[in-house]
A and B are shown apart, each in its own frame.
Chain A
Amino acid sequence: MRKFFLIAVPYAWLLALFLIPFFIVLKISLSDVALARPPYVPQFSWDDGIMAFLRDLDFENFVFLTEDSLYWKAYLSSVSIAGLSTILTLTIGYPLAYGMARAPEEWRATLMMLIILPFWTSFLIRVYAWMGILSQEGLLNQFLMWTGLISEPLMILNTPTAVYIGIVYTYLPFMVLPIYSALDRMDGSLIEAAEDLGCSRLSAFWLVTVPLSRNGIIAGCFLVFIPALGEFVIPSLLGGSGTLMIGKVLWEEFFSNRDWPVASAVAVILLLILVIPIVLFQRNQQDAEEAAK
């Protein structure tokens, strides 16, 4: 009885507030838009039974998404922005994690705290911090003009470049932590062995260190790529109107156009795109757990 209660409470909560809402999204994505409150007309109801439901199934909103090039472009540019920022984050995050893992023992706790601190700081504020730096009269432009590298201020804010900077900056701890923990576990004598056997420092790094930190690299990449794909705050504050990302399109479809059925259809497709990296990520985590045993 006690066990039943223990299972039932969180189970019921998650069913009611996590799973059922997704079916509502699915249902509304198949509805028609209307000028009413709420602004949609359901295309079917459960009372008619499952056969009537299947007969009346209407993919109009999804067809609309394929016809309007805005949505295609938004999905593609989300994937490419998330992908490229993941690579950039890895490029900056790997040396940082490597430096931390090789730092003297007594520094490590402090370095770890310095990596975790931004993670507890408001996401919104960290994105906002870049607005003042990247704007036309911002500090970066002032600095570059002072050094004489440029004579006219560069347009950085409200371009995709600013979005890349924002994503790399806010998600860097997610990349550094798994790589650091993989490098920290590594047995240092393996490098010595490789060097004794005639490897140069660089080839020992490529042949020993990188493969041994592979699981950390993969975990870090997914931890950056998955949330970056559905990101809303960064493209809307730093990206300007020219940067298309699907999270922003969904938001505008919902709040500006008040087209709930299309917003729901956008959400359903975003979810389908996300399933692939999520499944791959889970498989990687399971492999890593088994390897650790």
Chain B
Amino acid sequence: MNRFSWFNAVSLTFGFAFLYIPMIILVTYSFNESKLVTVWAGFSTKWYGELFRDQAFLDAAWVTLRVAVFSSTLATILGTMAAYVLIRAGRFTGRTLFSGMIYAPLVMPDVITGLALLLLFIGVGLDRGVLTVVLAHTTFAMCYVSVVVSSRLATFDQSLEEAALDLGCSPAQAFRLVTLPIIAPAVISGWLLAFTLSLDDLVIASFTTGPSATTLPIKIFSAVRLGVSPEINALSTIMIGIVTAGVITASVISKRNMVRQRREEQAAARAQ
């Protein structure tokens, strides 16, 4: 049955045009000669040069990258532990509170999370800087990681773990040799999600950072508040380029795996 009518074609075209035209315009105007972003004055890559000579942007990029690597790694460890507890630990005192604390940050407005964490850091007298931003990002990102990992943990066959234990594995060995390889794709996508969320966050970082650690989104925000600038277009183009390459690679890999799996299944079916 094929119900792909002209109506569907129109709504797909319109929807994707709406999603992509603004980004295409942004990328196009990063190669504009003119300082005025809305007037096309010929092709030029000079704004990329300006960007790489701007020490403030490079410093901010370095801070952002460090924060993102540390917080996403920490969030992946804590989030995987939390997911394991949610799915496998059974009942324990305070379980409801625990799962509430895992899901609540997902719907919490950034302004509230940021304010609350800042007041905590001031309360305990922690100097604001890279460390406080890492702590803040780890806290909300671990919840995303745990949601991603727990959905994978919930669907896989627990008897595999039991078999490993029966065959003489210690619980730690069973986790390392059986569970971890199975949930690995979810753990990796959890890490990527945490990394992206950290790179992207403006509001929580603005609240929890100090003058010594300006992240890239904070820098971008203060620059674009004054209006559109071609340097920011160049920076956006680089970021969009990296993300696009990453997403396309990931989808090609997953497609190849799917094809291979299907081929193996067919081969197995023929062999029987």
By a beta-carbon cutoff of 8 Å, the part of chain A in contact with chain B is 2-3, 6-7, 9-11, 13-15, 17-22, 24-25, 28, 38, 92-93, 95-96, 98-100, 102-104, 109, 111, 113-118, 120-126, 128-133, 135, 137-139, 142, 169, 172, 176, 188-189, 191-192, 226-227, 229-233, 236-237, 247, 250-251, 254-255, 260, 263-264, 267, 270-271, 274, 278, 281-282
- CB of A95 within 8 A of CB of B11, answer yes
Could you say which of B53-61, B112-120, B176-184, B264-272 contacts chain A?
B112-120
Name the one of A126, A251, A263 contacting B22, with C-beta atoms under 8 angstroms.
A126
**Interface status of B62 (Cβ within 8 A of chain A):** no
Seed contacts A102-B4, A227-B107; 5 additional CB < 8 Å A-B pairs: A95-B15, A104-B2, A132-B37, A188-B3, A267-B116
A10 and B9 CA atoms in complex are apart in Å by: 48
A226 and B104 CA atoms in complex are apart in Å by: 12
The distance from the CB of A254 to the nearest CB of chain B, in whole angstroms, is 6
- CB of A6 within 8 A of CB of B243, answer no
**Interface status of B78 (Cβ within 8 A of chain A):** yes
A270 and B146 CA atoms in complex are apart in Å by: 26
- CB of A138 within 8 A of CB of B38, answer yes
A-chain residues with CB within 8 Å of residue B111 when the two chains form the complex: 230, 232, 247, 250-251, 267, 270
- CB of B89 within 8 A of CB of A7, answer yes
By a beta-carbon cutoff of 8 Å, the part of chain B in contact with chain A is 1-5, 7-9, 11-12, 14-16, 18-20, 22-23, 25-26, 29, 37-38, 78-79, 81-82, 84-85, 89, 92, 94, 98, 101-105, 107, 109-112, 115-117, 119-120, 122-123, 135-136, 138-139, 142, 146, 171-172, 196, 199-200, 202-203, 206-207, 217, 220-221, 224-225, 227-228, 232-233, 236, 239-240, 243-244, 246-248, 251, 255
- CB of A10 within 8 A of CB of B82, answer yes
A144 and B11 CA atoms in complex are apart in Å by: 22
- CB of A24 within 8 A of CB of B123, answer yes
B-chain residues with CB within 8 Å of residue A116 when the two chains form the complex: 247
Which residue of chain A lies nearest to B244 when distances are taken between CB atoms in the complex?
Answer: A117
A168 and B126 CA atoms in complex are apart in Å by: 39
- CB of B107 within 8 A of CB of A278, answer yes
A115 and B103 CA atoms in complex are apart in Å by: 24
- CB of A104 within 8 A of CB of B4, answer yes
- CB of B23 within 8 A of CB of A121, answer yes
A-chain residues with CB within 8 Å of residue B7 when the two chains form the complex: 95, 99
The distance from the CB of A155 to the nearest CB of chain B, in whole angstroms, is 15
A254 and B23 CA atoms in complex are apart in Å by: 33
The distance from the CB of B128 to the nearest CB of chain A, in whole angstroms, is 12
Report the tally of A-B residue pairs with Cβ distances under 8 A.
Answer: 229
Name the one of B1, B115, B203 contacting A263, with C-beta atoms under 8 angstroms.
B115
Interface centre among B3, B89, B98, B246 (most CB of A within 10 A): B3
The distance from the CB of A250 to the nearest CB of chain B, in whole angstroms, is 5
- CB of A120 within 8 A of CB of B112, answer no
**Given A3-B89, A113-B251, residue A92 in contact with residue B15 (CB < 8 A):** yes
Name the one of A3, A117, A137 contacting B38, with C-beta atoms under 8 angstroms.
A137
- CB of B81 within 8 A of CB of A103, answer no
- Which 8 interchain pairs have the tightest Cβ spacing? A230-B109, A95-B11, A96-B15, A21-B116, A99-B8, A99-B12, A129-B22, A10-B82
The distance from the CB of A53 to the nearest CB of chain B, in whole angstroms, is 17
A142 and B40 CA atoms in complex are apart in Å by: 12
The distance from the CB of B111 to the nearest CB of chain A, in whole angstroms, is 5
B-chain residues with CB within 8 Å of residue A188 when the two chains form the complex: 1, 3
A-chain residues with CB within 8 Å of residue B203 when the two chains form the complex: 232-233, 251
A129 and B41 CA atoms in complex are apart in Å by: 19
